[in-house]
Structure 1
């Protein structure tokens, strides 16, 4: 069974990767997170130049490494994530 959650991505204050858009680095982190792990997928919910950027992530219920793996990729690409609040999702795709 799949689980799903929506996350808001912003630039990490300590990041030196400020030449890229937040959405670009969040997308890179999401793509690497998905990798070749069965059951992992994501959907970008905002435009390519959005700041903050919102993504929906899906993983298998038994994928106990999903959260930690996403945290690692966020650190690698200089973004931070926090769970999106319901009001923040108004008007977004998906």
Structure 2
């Protein structure tokens, strides 16, 4: 799966990592619903760090279609709400 972090670039991520990422996504969704700004920021950064850790960066000149687009690290809670697709940022 190709994942884009807005403002950073793309990584190739094995589908086998989705379960681990979905746990962070569920936590992020709960924090958003509760209006927990500090928790939201902490979990968003943890989610993006995990994607960077587990993913293999694609070259900057690569034009692969992204299957998943994640917000930039500095995205606000309101901006991330606009990216949600039903059950969170990550399908599944």
The alignment's TM-score, normalised by the length of structure 1, stands at: 0.29
Q: Compute the TM-score of the two structures, normalised by the length of structure 2.
A: 0.30
